[in-house]
């Protein structure tokens, strides 16, 4: 059986390893013309804390080990699901028995007027980040409608360049689909204390300007001047698929980072030097669960844990890095913490 894996995210790597272990032939079609890379590191690359080369470290090691057939110099044109072949922009055809679509290299941004203007970026593709880096000298004010950690990290990264950064949130606090209201409000307060403006309970409805971004109009009617708008909300563009209905038999999946967040979350640090944030597992109170909080104003530390049954189910911390590893170990070991919740904080 010939399996065709289409995508450029590091998510393709374990898929390739699993298929190779079954003794099947694998072709990887890299949709962005480069090896798969860690998208979560793109804000770090923008901030200058990691190099572009480091995005490919894991990919190079695993691809050398598994050695699939690589296609990196072709652009995706069309996929015929029923006839089982992919056509490139140069009219080459790649046949397959099974298709696993991780991403297409193209994104659909939110339905906002004015997306075609220069100065509009997504934060999921290497090409977008490199274009953003070139555009940095021309942007003094930036709007980031943040719905995910990636957008928050982009906003924090840009603030290090002394840009006027405004984060727009749909909830009372920040990232309401990830954090509970209490955590989101504190996150908003911390960012504002670091010079990042936060506009809550709002959304970008229109991007204004001639050829270039000059301002945005919010749902409230307020107009904010800016030179760039950066979206973290996006979904994979699958319009190059020849059939609109994708069956389970074709085993097509779309990369999770383009879907609404799925709980629980994998361990992750966020916020750069603006906010030393960390989370793992459940970041909102699970049904039937319990929550415990410790906030130290003078030390500016915040620790919140979520328990379910007799074990730790999740955690969120701000500026408490010495405790992150200890709490994460308790979470991963699934220790019995009944009666010890306050103590482990």
In order of their start, the domains of the chain are 2-106+236-258 (3.50.50.60), 110-231 (3.50.50.60), 276-344 (no CATH)
pLDDT score of 257 more than 90? no
The confidence score (pLDDT) of residue 250 equals 44
Q: Return the structure tokens found at 34.
A: 């480069």
How do beta strands 235-236 and 107-108 pair? antiparallel
pLDDT score of 255 more than 80? no
Higher pLDDT, 62 or 260: 62
Burial track 165-182 (b if 16+ CB lie within 10 A, e otherwise): bbbbbbbebbbbebbbeb
- The residue written with tokens 């003078």 in the block is 298
The confidence score (pLDDT) of residue 244 equals 52
Residues contacting residue 101 through CB under 8 Å, at least 6 positions apart? 6, 7, 79, 236, 238, 252, 253, 254
Q: Taking the model in full, what pTM does it have? A: 0.91
Average pLDDT over residues 240-244: 71
Q: Return the structure tokens found at 192.
A: 């504002």
The confidence score (pLDDT) of residue 258 equals 40
């Amino acid at each position: 059986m010939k399996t065709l894996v289409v995508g450029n995210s590091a998510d393709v790597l374990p898929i390739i390893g699993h298929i190779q272990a079954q003794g099947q032939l694998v072709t990887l079609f890299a949709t962005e013309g480069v090896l798969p890379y860690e998208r979560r590191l793109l804000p770090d690359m923008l901030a200058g804390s990691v190099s572009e080369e480091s995005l490919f470290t894991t990919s190079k090691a695993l691809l050398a080990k598994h050695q699939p057939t690589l296609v990196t110099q072709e652009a995706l044109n069309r996929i015929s699901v029923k006839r089982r072949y992919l056509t490139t922009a140069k009219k080459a055809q790649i046949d397959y028995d099974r298709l696993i679509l991780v991403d297409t290299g193209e994104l659909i941004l939110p339905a906002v007027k004015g997306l075609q203007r220069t100065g509009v970026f997504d934060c999921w593709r290497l090409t977008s980040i490199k274009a953003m880096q070139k555009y940095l000298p021309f942007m003094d004010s930036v709007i980031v409608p943040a719905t995910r950690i990636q957008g928050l990290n982009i906003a924090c990264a840009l603030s290090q360049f002394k840009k006027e950064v405004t984060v727009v949130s749909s909830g009372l606090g920040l990232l309401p689909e990830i954090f509970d209201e209490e955590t989101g409000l504190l996150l908003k307060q911390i960012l504002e204390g670091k010079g990042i403006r936060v506009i809550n309970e709002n959304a970008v409805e229109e991007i204004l300007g001639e050829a270039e971004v000059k301002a945005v109009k919010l749902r409230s009617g307020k107009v904010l001047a800016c030179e760039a708008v950066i979206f973290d909300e996006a979904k994979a563009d699958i319009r190059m698929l020849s059939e609109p209905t994708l069956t389970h038999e074709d085993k097509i999946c779309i990369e999770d980072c383009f879907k609404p967040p799925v709980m629980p979350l994998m361990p992750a640090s966020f916020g750069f030097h603006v906010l030393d944030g960390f989370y793992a597992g459940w970041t909102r109170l699970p049904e039937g669960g319990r929550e415990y909080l410790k906030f130290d104003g003078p030390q500016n530390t915040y620790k919140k844990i979520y328990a379910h049954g007799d074990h730790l189910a999740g955690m969120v911390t701000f500026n408490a890095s010495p405790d992150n590893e200890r709490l994460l170990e308790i979470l991963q070991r699934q220790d019995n913490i009944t009666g010890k919740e306050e103590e482990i904080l």
